[in-house]
Amino acid sequence: MASADDLAIQCSDVRKSYGSRCVLDGVNLQVRYGSILALLGRNGAGKSTLISMLCGLLNPDSGSVRVAGVALNGKRPNALGSAIGLAPQDLGLYPQLTVMQNLMSMAMVQGLRPRNARERAEDLIDMFDLGKQSGQRAESLSGGQKRRLHTAMALVHSPRVLFLDEPTVGADVEARSSILQVVRGIADSSTAVLYTTHYMEEIEQLGADVAFLDGGSIVDQGSIHDIIKRHAAPSICVSFVGGLQPEVIGWVRTGDGLEPDRPIDDPGRTLAALLSDQHCRDVQLKDVQVIHANLETAYRNIVRSGGGDSVAYIASGNPGYPERPEQSQALSGISGKENR
């Protein structure tokens, strides 16, 4: 078990409600320095609320929160600002400023002197492969370049804890690869990273631990291997000619087919049992797809057991979410007052 000094984030029995709606219901969470934790959950699961709380932007109704050794007990201490970095999903850039000016401006907001701010900006420009765009205005950058700059701005003050909310949204393959490489390197240098994404492939590439937020609480947390072992098993998806989806006990409708509502041991035996069911005797089999045990399967099983609709998590492919417009102010960093 990790000691308190090893923990960058500690949440104990954290609760938060908006009126009569309970959003967080006894969240317990630990994140070690030097690790990446991918926070997964359906839309409305409370991920944004939890991240806002961990950044000191929102107070819990009860429970304790400690980030970078700083206790958040109803007000946000100044010390927290210099310890954390935040890159929200919405881009936070100064459109009229160049890449260098954006980074230097944020660095000075974070308390770095001009000379140190320029040195740090140059390091980040090199790290994110933005050298050719250094003197280019942010408004003229490509979507992937904007996303890299946005993420870099959260790192100008070398935070000990970094929050990244879907950092590859709208990024092309090159930008996505660059961001993932930087994130892995940051964690290897002892920074803790809390990461949200819709892409399971990213989590696997990062070698991140995983926490599932559902029903207002963390329902499981562990390594990818352990999560798959606990929640995933081989399964099958069966489709019939004409898109027919007969109602069969123990099966659920997914897309144009049927899947077992629980993990299975033997796909062949499971298929035979389905086809022998009285509701399937008058339909013609079209296709059988074997679903291998992976992180996506584990996520779907966890969400299914909790009920409700899940957000669409993607096992692989090229991110293609539409890019959101820049905001008028740079929101990537959390302001601190420390001079460096």
Q: Evaluate whether 179 touches 168 at the Cβ level (below 8 Å).
A: yes
Q: The whole model's pTM is what?
A: 0.77
Q: What is d(CA 306, CA 285) in angstroms, rounded to the nearest whole number? A: 30
pLDDT tens string, the chain, 340 residues long: the values are: 567 789 999 999 999 999 999 999 999 999 999 999 999 988 888 898 999 999 988 999 999 999 999 898 766 667 788 899 999 989 999 999 999 999 999 999 999 999 999 999 999 999 999 999 999 999 999 999 999 999 999 999 999 999 999 999 888 888 889 899 999 999 999 999 999 988 888 999 999 999 999 889 999 999 999 998 888 878 899 999 988 899 999 999 988 899 888 878 888 899 999 999 989 988 999 999 888 888 888 888 787 766 444 444 444 433 333 333 333 333 344 433 334 4
All CATH 3.40.50.300 domain ranges of the chain, comma separated, are 4-228
Q: What is the pLDDT of residue 297?
A: 80
Q: Evaluate whether 228 touches 85 at the Cβ level (below 8 Å).
A: no
Q: What is the pLDDT of residue 281?
A: 87
Please tell us whether the domain made up of 4-228 is placed in CATH 2.40.50.100.
no
Q: What is the pLDDT of residue 226?
A: 92
* Nearest to 81, CA basis, from 118, 55, 102: 55
Which 3 state secondary structure label does DSSP give 160? coil
In the chain, count H helices and then E strands.
Answer: 10, 14
Q: What is the pLDDT of residue 298?
A: 87
Q: What is the pLDDT of residue 329?
A: 34
Residue 178 tokens read as 């660059």
